[in-house]
A and B are shown apart, each in its own frame.
Chain A
Amino acid sequence: GAAVTEHDEL
């Protein structure tokens, strides 16, 4: 499946 966006922001 599509990769989940990395949550690198606060």
Chain B
Amino acid sequence: MNIFRFAGDMMHLTSILVLLLKIYATKSCSGISLKTQELYALVFLARYLDLFTDFISVYNTIMKLVFIVSSTAIVWCMKRDRVVRRSYDKQLDTFRHYFLLAASFALALLVNEKFTFQEIFWAFSIYLEAVAILPQLVLLQRSGNVDNLTGQYVFFLGAYRAFYILNWIYRYFTETHFSRWIACISGLVQTALYADFFYYYYISWKNNTKLKLPA
């Protein structure tokens, strides 16, 4: 494992911790898209079906468990916690995420590394992760003002993707048989979706003003 991959994983972990911190400390999930969170939980459940069949490393196994548990806990909290669920911006979170689900699954049936149950679900999780942030970005754009923790949550998610791209570039030049087009192309698409957000995040950071996205 190279330093870029590890940094990416740590950014991913940090984004989840920031989100948990926001929900627990403020007892509020305003500005957070439940649809995006549901999609992420599904991404991890579909991708880590290999938890029981393929062992890579203790690090991988622990991280997989952490991602599954934390993402389902966030969804559970937003739906079931008496206090937290009251702050959910339901009327703003109207993105049709079932469309993303159907499109990702259809693509996974067509483009996969092998036509097996696990490989189809793996490809599905890669495609779904690439677009799962869309409901969140749409919600932020609709609500206009973005609170600090929510902004940082999306920032760390984007940083995670950026480091994974550096990781692939590094692996491409250092490994002899590096070919993972499905993950790389989907990853590029996913990172591109953050470009706009990063631009406004940078502007607000530079001017030391509150993050605001144009309508």
Contacts and interface: CB of A to CB of B under 8 A. Distances in A.
Interface of A: 1, 4-10
Interface stretch (B56-64, B82-90, B189-197, B207-215): B56-64
Contacts of B63: 10
B180 interface: yes
Contact of B67 (A1, A6, A10): A10
- Ranked nearest first, the 6 interchain pairs of A and B with the lowest CB-CB distance are A4-B113, A4-B114, A8-B56, A5-B180, A10-B63, A10-B9
B183 A4 contact: no
Tell me the interface secondary structure of chain B in the complex: helix
B65 to A, nearest CB: 11
Contacts of A8: 56, 60
B213 to A, nearest CB: 29
A1 B180 CA distance: 17
B91 to A, nearest CB: 34
A9 to B, nearest CB: 7
A8 B60 CA distance: 8
Nearest to B167: A9
Question: Could you say which interface size class chain B belongs to?
Answer: 20 to 34
Nearest to B187: A9
Contacts of B122: 7
Q: Which of A1, A6, A8, A10 has the most chain B CB atoms inside 10 A of its CB?
A: A10
Interface string B175-190: 0000110010000000
Contacts of A9: 5, 164, 167, 183
A8 to B, nearest CB: 5
B22 interface: no
A7 B57 CA distance: 12
Nearest to B182: A5
A1 B50 CA distance: 21
Contacts of A5: 113, 179-180
Contacts of B113: 4-5
14 contacts: A4-B113, A4-B114, A5-B113, A5-B179, A6-B56, A7-B50, A7-B54, A7-B122, A8-B56, A8-B60, A9-B183, A10-B12, A10-B60, A10-B63
